[in-house]
Each structure stands twice: as C-alpha cells, then as structure tokens.
Amino acid sequence: MTTLAPDPALRLVLGSASPRRLDLLAQVGIVPHAIRPPEIDETPRTAEAPLDYVRRIAREKLAAVDAGADEIVLCADTTVALGRRILGKPADEAEAGRMLSLLSGRRHRVITAVAVRRAGLIWEKAVTTAVLVKPLSSGEIAAYLATGDWRGKAGSYAIQGPFGALIPWINGSFTGVVGLPLKETLGLLTAAGFTGGLR
C-alpha cells in the first residue's frame, strides 16, 4: 500500500450523511472539515456478490465527491449479507420484518468497505464481521419494529441500538458493523498522510 508523508494541512471531507460514521470518527478525535454526501444509485447489479457490491459503492461514492487540493475524502458503504443475498435498507416496515425473520437464529455477515482519496490516489479496505442473531419470536420482531430503529439501516437493524440485545455473538469489528471500522479507517487515513485523530 502506498504511504504518503504526513501533511498537517490536509482537511478531511466525509462523503456520508450517516450520523453513526460521524460519531465514530468523533470517538477517535476526528471532526471532518466538511460533510458532502454523494448522490449515487446504490442498486445492486444482477448476481453481484456482497463484497463486490460494497467495494463498488464505496468507490462510486468516492468518485462523486468533489474535493480541493488540500482535502482528503473518506467514504464507506455497509451491507448485510445472508449467503450471497444482499439485505439493504428496507423500504418499509413490512420489508424490515421480512429481513428480521430471515436473520432470526442465523449467522450473517456485515461487510463495510472504506475508501479514501487524496488527489489521484485511492486507498481501500473491506472488513467483514460475522454476526449471530438469536431466534426471534414474532413478539420480539414486532417490538423492535415499533421502535422505528430499523429505518435507514442495512439489514433492518443497528447493533448499537435496541437490536443489540438480540445479538449474542459477533466475530470481527464492532465498529465495522456500526458502519466504519475504526482501526482500518485510521490506517487508510494515515497512509494518505492525514494526521488528525488518535493514532
């Protein structure tokens, strides 16, 4: 991986509207100079594998964010994968309920791809975490849906919210499941010469 010399003058642009990613960066002392969420089509391609999908979307987000010469851009994408099936953000409560029923009592993968751009160079990393959901009763699913926490969440849940009580086991990156694997993200930013935050 190419590593550039540290540049304290670099300003970070977060290419995401996710408050969770903003909060995660704040945990390690990073406050973006600007937030510029890109508008792209996030529809999976026919037969596209989940890992290929998140990598592609992270790169497309990165390409859609304008940045100046003194700016470094950070984008990410997270998906929930059940086998080769991509579980994206549910359109409504009914779809969220179907997704939760699919996840009930099963292991799945949460994949987050991170991409960083400085000038013409790009640094990328994808992190996969295995997650087990306990067997869910219809009452548990209904109670969770009533919280509204499923809205805007890949796979219809957020591990850091009330659904976390229904997840007995994970193997991998907790922050990756939330939406931004911090260890790997800091490594990419460091390679690109960004000096902000904890190291």
Which domains occur in the chain, in start order? 11-191 (3.90.950.10)
Both structure tokens of 89: 């953000």
Q: Render 28-73 in DSSP notation, one character per residue.
A: TT---SEE-------PPPTT--HHHHHHHHHHHHHHTS---TTEEE
| 108-161 pLDDT per residue, tens | 999 999 999 998 899 999 999 999 999 999 999 999 999 999 999 999 999 999
Strand partners, 71: 11
User: Residue 50: pLDDT above 70?
Assistant: yes
Q: Average pLDDT of the chain?
A: 96
Alpha-carbon distance of 152 to 133, in angstroms, equals 19
| 67-97 pLDDT per residue, tens | 999 999 999 999 999 999 999 999 999 999 9
User: Residue 199: pLDDT above 60?
Assistant: no
User: Residue 1: pLDDT above 80?
Assistant: no
| 152-193 pLDDT per residue, tens | 999 999 999 999 999 999 999 999 999 999 999 999 999 999
Whether 77 is catalytic is yes
The model's pTM = 0.94
The confidence score (pLDDT) of residue 5 equals 87
The confidence score (pLDDT) of residue 197 equals 75
Among 7, 23, 77, 149, the active-site one is 77
